[in-house]
Amino acid sequence: MPGGDRLHRGGALLSGFGAAPTPALLLDAERLTRNVARVGDRVRALGARLRPHIKTHKCVEVARLQVAGQFGGITVSTLAEATAFAAHGFTDITYAVPVEPGKFAAALALAQRGVRLHLLTDDPAVPGPLAEAARAAGVRVDVFVKVDCGYHRCGVDPEGPALRELVQRIGERTQLRFAGLLTHAGHSYHARGADAVRAVATQEREVMRAATAWLAASGVTVPVVSVGSTPTITHVDHLDGVHEVRAGNYAFFDATQVRIGSCTLDDCVLTVLASVVHRDRTRGRVILDAGAIALSKDPGARELDPDAGFGRVLDLDGRDLGLRLRSLSQEHGEVPVPDAALLDRLPVGARLRIAVNHSCLTAAQHEAYLVHEGSRIVDRWAIHRGW
Amino acid sequence: MPGGDRLHRGGALLSGFGAAPTPALLLDAERLTRNVARVGDRVRALGARLRPHIKTHKCVEVARLQVAGQFGGITVSTLAEATAFAAHGFTDITYAVPVEPGKFAAALALAQRGVRLHLLTDDPAVPGPLAEAARAAGVRVDVFVKVDCGYHRCGVDPEGPALRELVQRIGERTQLRFAGLLTHAGHSYHARGADAVRAVATQEREVMRAATAWLAASGVTVPVVSVGSTPTITHVDHLDGVHEVRAGNYAFFDATQVRIGSCTLDDCVLTVLASVVHRDRTRGRVILDAGAIALSKDPGARELDPDAGFGRVLDLDGRDLGLRLRSLSQEHGEVPVPDAALLDRLPVGARLRIAVNHSCLTAAQHEAYLVHEGSRIVDRWAIHRGW
């Protein structure tokens, strides 16, 4: 641990990990840049456009890196994200949760402020009231129909009557523009290895192509076909028939993506900096000040790796110490350390880094990232939370 | 759902649930008042003083209710909580995580501002550097020795040489005052039913009495014996030899406490207001806009109830609908609804309330409580998060 380091939030000098208060969320700038370039290039090479999902990071600075050289659109999971990003100059936003009437007013307020807002629905009862609300607000909005490509969370049957009915209801309303078809292959998170993920990616693409063809048969043109998940964009063969990719987690990756096969541990951007607050030589373990709030209680890819615990423990240089967070309480994390020599090196006050299980949920626990290059903290980026 | 309701944050009119944006964290004011009175009265009747642990709610208004008629001290789990509460007039604060050197400066800054700050340690390497830092800061601080009463998370052996050594090292330093012995019977959360919890509570008390006697044999007087957990204060027989109780969860309770036997579902204060965003008649279920961020991913008392899921689903009046949140993703929660007639009553936009598994973790996901009396929202209270 470097001595004499000092962290001045908002000031000029932001240096090593040693001076940062713990727990803190560290963001590796070099890895972020690499991940963003890799997936941005890949989507371009596949002939699609990238509309990154910013729910993973909720951070304007990260989103700016992601849209550089892309068309500028983003995807959000909450209207609070949409509002915060609109205030920072993002004007083409897809709110990728089916919209419900309680959110019409907040969504349409964004459209009134000049945001090109894309909403989505999979329910025939929504277009009518949404159009009425849009008329009252004096705006038009783009509406995607959400399609179920096999994840079975939301979305209409890709070849059932509900799809045609929905497209028709949207088309009947002058306040609504039919934006296209949108899906999310969330079941890729349950796949194991590249071949299994590729099978899901193929399904995601082919279901959308079939739905597009089925609508074409009744004379309906689909302006945009939008798909997206980090595992599927990593392993998909081609994207013929797909216009837009909405991956998000790839900016950060995490231990879950390592298990799925989307990346290696060396691609993971987020770590939680933590301090030892208790050392127990009798039981061979330490307690850290990173608990369920600092990390989230996401069990990670436990179905892929029962021993995953709540995070891998790294040293300050990012080297895997072979330790795992076994249990979490609110502000405590327990790490078994069977090696007595290693335990000697972990007195109260020693600092460690935790490679997180699920970067999206961990990020949402914090108000900011400490951005680092090597062990030097170079910036602090805000996280826009809430609803 | 009442029509025409409007929620004006920070304004005069805060009315029914219908107008609140979802997801939102609801706090039942009547239940809170009842819980606070019940446990406050119980601790008083048992002859101890109450130093409520505010980590559960991180809310100044709730803490003010808890300390009314008590001596005014509180317990915190982070220095951010300590700082926020000190700024709101709380001057007697115990930071109940073993202090490590990286937090000396922030802790001592509170003491410099006139807070009577109680720190705790279980490590013989801490008192020396802490005393030096206190000397440099020109303050004295109170230091508890953390004792392990059987939870085995932190704390020294209650009758081992480390206890005497720590007390001696604290006593040698003029900048440190030996505050007493402190323990937390966290293993009460793994107990099942009143008898099992009472056994843990007895252990918590008797271990502390034995440690006190053991120190007395070497001429050391223990100023304060501090214990505390919500299950143990609920079921303990008596508190002879104990001065202070640091329970916290009792203000809100939650589904986990129901399973442990600390309360009934009608005592639980927090619910998350959520809207249906998707209805699937084929699979018999709805998707809500309350996911892993709005609720936390705490599995609750799954060891006590494997079917607990991520929360019970209530109607707007708080009646249990017999439904459970089966799975969570970031902003989606899945609720199986096998009853077709009930599913008919849950269109997109319908509102439900989720009784939370773990109130402490759910509260930490939100920036404020919407305080309600019946279905009328009467106030909005801030939650002081972070580190």
Q: Tell me, letter by letter, the H, E, C secondary structure of A277-342.
A: EEEECCCCEEEECCCHHHHCCCCCCCCCCCCCCCCEEECCCCCEEEEECCEECCCCEEEECCCHHH
Pick from A98, A103, A330: which is nearest to B361 by CB? A330
Q: How far apart are CA B364 and CA A293, in angstroms?
A: 7
Inter-chain residue contact B123 with A23, CB threshold 8 Å: no
Quickly state the pLDDT bin for B6 (edges 50, 70, 90): very low
Beta-carbon contacts of A132 under 8 Å, excluding residues fewer than 6 positions away, are none
Question: In angstroms, how far is the first alpha carbon of chain A from the final one?
Answer: 38
- Across the A:B interface, residue pairs with CB atoms under 8 Å apart total 149
Inter-chain residue contact B21 with A387, CB threshold 8 Å: yes
- A119-174 pLDDT tens trace: 999 999 999 999 999 999 999 999 999 999 999 999 999 988 999 999 999 999 99
Helix (H), strand (E) at residue A92: strand A92-95
Backbone angles phi, psi at B98, to 5 degrees: -55, 130
Instruction: Please state the length of chain B.
Output: 387
Q: Which residue from A205, A200, A203 is spatially nearest to A187, judged by alpha carbons?
A: A200
pTM, two decimal places? 0.95
State the pLDDT at residue B301.
66
Average pLDDT over residues B363-371: 97
- Domains in chain A (CATH in brackets) are 17-27+264-382 (2.40.37.20), 29-252 (3.20.20.10)
Quickly state the pLDDT bin for A308 (edges 50, 70, 90): confident
Average pLDDT over residues B274-286: 97
pLDDT above 50: residue B4: no
Average pLDDT over residues B98-107: 97
State the pLDDT at residue B5.
43
Backbone angles phi, psi at B259, to 5 degrees: -65, -40
The C-alpha of B154 sits at a distance from chain A's nearest C-alpha, in angstroms, of 6
Pick from A23, A123, A385: which is nearest to B279 by CB? A123
Of residues B175 and B7, the one with the higher pLDDT is B175
State the pLDDT at residue B1.
33
Half-sphere exposure of A128 (CA within 13 A, CB side): 5
Inter-chain residue contact A102 with B349, CB threshold 8 Å: yes
Report the DSSP beta bridge partners of residue B146: B182
State the pLDDT at residue B15.
55
**% of chain A surpassing 70 pLDDT:** 95
Query: Chain B partners of A23 at a C-beta cutoff of 8 Å?
Result: 387
Average pLDDT over residues B247-262: 94
Amino acid making up residue A190: H
Q: How far apart are CA B241 and CA B245, in angstroms?
A: 12
Q: Provide the 8-state DSSP code for B7.
A: B
Q: Which residue from A269, A386, A285 is spatially nearest to A28, judged by alpha carbons?
A: A269
CB distance A363 to A252 below 8 Å: yes
Q: Provide the 8-state DSSP code for A190.
A: G
Query: Chain B partners of A79 at a C-beta cutoff of 8 Å?
Result: 21
- 3-class SS of residue A14: strand
pLDDT above 50: residue A12: no
Inter-chain residue contact A349 with B298, CB threshold 8 Å: no
Inter-chain residue contact B24 with A351, CB threshold 8 Å: no
- Classify each residue of B273-311 as buried b or exposed e, where b means 16 or more C-beta atoms within 10 Å of its C-beta: bbbbbbbbeeeebbbbbbbbbbbbbbbbbeebeeebbbb
State the pLDDT at residue B159.
83
Inter-chain residue contact A387 with B351, CB threshold 8 Å: no
In Å, the largest CA–CA distance within chain A is 74
Query: Chain A partners of B292 at a C-beta cutoff of 8 Å?
Result: 296, 298, 361
Pick from B186, B334, B361: which is nearest to A153 by CB? B334
Helix (H), strand (E) at residue B352: strand B351-355
Inter-chain residue contact B347 with A275, CB threshold 8 Å: no
Beta-carbon contacts of B182 under 8 Å, excluding residues fewer than 6 positions away, are B94, B96, B120, B144, B145, B146, B147, B224, B225, B226, B227, B246
What does the mean pLDDT of chain A come to? 93
CB distance A237 to A203 below 8 Å: no
ipTM of this complex prediction, to 2 decimal places: 0.94
**% of chain B surpassing 90 pLDDT:** 89
C-alpha to C-alpha distances, B384 to A213, A287, B81, B181, B273, nearest whole angstrom: 52, 24, 6, 28, 20
CB distance A14 to A247 below 8 Å: no
